[in-house]
Amino acid sequence: MEDSQKQVCAWINDNRHRSIKLLKKMVEQRSVQGNEASAQAVVLEKCRQLSLDIDLWEPGGKALKQHPHFVATRTSFKDSPNIVGVMKGTGGGRSVILNGHVDVVPEGDLKQWEVDPYQAVVKDNRLYGRGSTDMKGGNVCLLMAIEAIKASGISLKGDVIFQSVIEEESGGAGTLAAILRGYKADAAIVPEPTKMKIFQKQQGSMWFRLKVKGRSAHGGTRYEGVSAIEKTTLVVEHLLELEQKRNKRITDPLYQTIPIPVPINIGKIEGGTWPSSVADLVTLEGRCGIAPNEKIEDVQAEFQVWIDELSSKDEWFKEHPAELEWFGARWLPNEIDGTHPLTEALSKAYADILGREPVIEASPWGTDAGLLSHAGGIPSIVFGPGETEMAHFPNEFIDIDQMISCTKVIAAFILDWCEVSE
């Protein structure tokens, strides 16, 4: 291992307690949508300590809201700031964006939590709390990697652009705002919880709404009506067939460990107005996965054709077709070649630090890497600490040893990618 790597890794080991302290402070902030300011205040203070060139702003404006990739579930980002901190290089080296989101999903049913989701409890080498894995632990890796390099007195040729963004959990408006603000780089790393696997491909996804119609009647003579609830069971079965059809086409070996590479999930059902009436309308809302090599428009067209084919299974749908609508959040897919310099550099850093080759897979969910790639033209990879299956779960936690190892790998990558300035 080169001297600069050894020096930086030693600093990270010696300052493990500082990584834990920073993560605790971040997790203690309940940064759900619209409430990100307190967590960003923690990030802002850290960026000031690191003497980064800081840019703090609330996303908004016509350029953002009229962008073809803009999606949002709210109309204003007031009191929900983005933060970018830049460590300027001396010139001549490659630049990198280190992008992490500060927003978290709500904690859900507190009865399912064994600890307070915002107490940041440390137990058995794990830090528990909402956002510890998704993805404040990854953000800490980015900040501590930067601090390790600065504290070791190492200057870089290329710029390091740290981004703490909002709104990833609702479609990525924060990252899109950073792109439109002019932040570009030769590569980007998004430290979502991959369990230290390198995700060089990721699925995208988008939300859909289906309205299934029936005909109302008294429950005592339900045979005079047509139950939208009963018709909905046929719609659900039909969607599962589409899911099977779409996933049979995916033969990419990077998806071989993922049972359903691009799922179609129904997450919400509403229907009926009265227990003694036949339901005349059911609304389904769900999420449709998008393969890395697919275009959103093509997936939407295939979905619509499939819904139209319901009429071949049931005469009712000929006169009363299910209505399809695309709404709300959307995440772009992304892929990068295995021989791309970014993949090779990150893989080398991983091997240098951990003494083994990384596992390279495809992501089962969407991230802001899709926006960085498609809207920003920036080659992007997803790589970070934390158990993939713990994201959005009760009793969410992150393994502290893994977070420290990830910090070292990212620091080693930065040293190589941006180049040490003599």
Catalytic residues: 103, 168
Tokens of 268: 């919400």
- Report which of 160, 33, 141 is spatially closest to residue 85, judged by C-alpha positions: 160
The rounded distance, in Å, linking the Cα atoms of 147 and 193 is 21
> What gap in Å lies between CA 162 and CA 174, rounded to an integer?
13
Q: In what order do the strands lie in the sheet with 323-331?
A: 264-271, 281-290, 204-213, 323-331
Q: How far apart are CA 205 and CA 208, in angstroms?
A: 10
How far is 311 from 342, CA to CA, in rounded Å? 48
Would you tell me the crossing angle of helices 400-418 and 3-14 to the nearest 10 degrees? Answer: 150
Q: Do 72 and 171 touch, CB atoms closer than 8 A?
A: yes
Q: Is 59 helix (H, G, I), strand (E, B) or coil?
A: coil
Tokens standing for 96? 């990198």
Which residue in the block uniquely carries the two structure tokens 């995700």?
A: 199
- DSSP state letters, 207-263: EEEEEEE-B--BGGGGGGSB-HHHHHHHHHHHHHHHHHHHHHT---GGGTT-S-SS-
Give the largest Cα separation in the chain, rounded.
Answer: 86
